[in-house]
Chains A and B, each alone.
Chain A
Amino acid sequence: NAGVTQTPKFRVLKTGQSMTLLCAQDMNHEYMYWYRQDPGMGLRLIHYSVGEGTTAKGEVPDGYNVSRLKKQNFLLGLESAAPSQTSVYFCASSGQVTEAFFGQGTRLTVV
C-alpha cells in the first residue's frame, strides 16, 4: 500500500550541482505533478504530466526539467542548483476524477 513514494527525503547540494528527485506511484494514475512548498506561499506547481511520455510547465518551471519515461515514474531534475531552489518538494498523482495523492516530500537545501 505504498501510494506515492519520493526519494530522497533530504538532500543538501552545493550551488551549481545537479540532482534528480524520483517519484514513483503504484496506483496506475495518469497524471503526475511536482510542487514546491515555501513558507507563506503554499504549494506551487513546477511541472506536470498527463501521461507517459508527456510533460508540461506549471506555475514556476524555470531551473527545473522533468521526464516521464514510464507511467509510474516522474523525475524532477535540477541541472545547476541555486539557493533560490531551497524548498520542500512534493510529488503527487491523480486519476481522471480523483483528488491528488501526495508523497512525503523532499527537503532540499542548496548552500
Chain B
Amino acid sequence: AQTVTQSQPEMSVQEAETVTLSCTYDTSENNYYLFWYKQPPSRQMILVIRQEAYKQQNATENRFSVNFQKAAKSFSLKISDSQLGDTAMYFCAFMKALNTGTASKLTFGTGTRLQVTL
C-alpha cells in the first residue's frame, strides 16, 4: 500500500515571497503519478500540478513548480510570488500508473494549511 506524508500541518508566507511545501511518499511501484491539489475555503478541490514519475524534468505551472526526487521519494511544491488567493489547504496525492480497467485511485496526504499574509 502507498502512503503519503505531509509533515507541515500549517505554514505562513508573506505576499510576494516564496514558500515550499513538503511531501514524501512510500511505494514499491516504479510507474506512478504525483499531484498537488489546492482546497480553498470554498471547499473545491483544484488540481495545481501533476508529475509523471518517468519524467526526470520537474513540472511547472506558472508560479507553481515541484522538486521531484524519485530516489528519495520526495515531491515538494514551491509557490513563487505568493498571492493572497493562494491561501488554502494543499494536498499531496499519489496514483499508481493505470492499466486497462484499473481505477486511478488517489492516496492523499493529510494536507498543509497555507496562509498568505500582507
A residues contacting B by CB (< 8 A) are 31, 33, 35, 40-45, 48-51, 56, 58, 88, 90, 92, 94, 96-102, 104-105, 107
Query: Which secondary structure dominates where chain B touches chain A?
Result: loop
Q: Is B105 engaged at the interface, CB distance under 8 Å to the other chain?
A: yes
Q: Given A33-B103, A96-B98, is A104 in contact with B44 using a C-beta cutoff of 8 Å?
A: yes
B110–A45 contact, CB under 8 A?
no
For the complex, give the distance between the alpha carbons of A33 and B4 in Å.
19
The interface size bin for chain B is: 20 to 34
User: Known: A43-B108, A45-B106, A48-B103. Is A99-B44 also a contact (CB below 8 A)?
Assistant: no
Known: A90-B45, A102-B45, A105-B43. A42 touches B102 (CB 8 A): no
Cα-based distance from A92 to B104 in the complex (angstroms): 11
Known contacts: A42-B111, A43-B91, A50-B101. The answer to whether A100 contacts B106 by CB under 8 A is yes
- The reply to whether A45 and B105 form a contact with Cβ atoms under 8 Å apart is yes
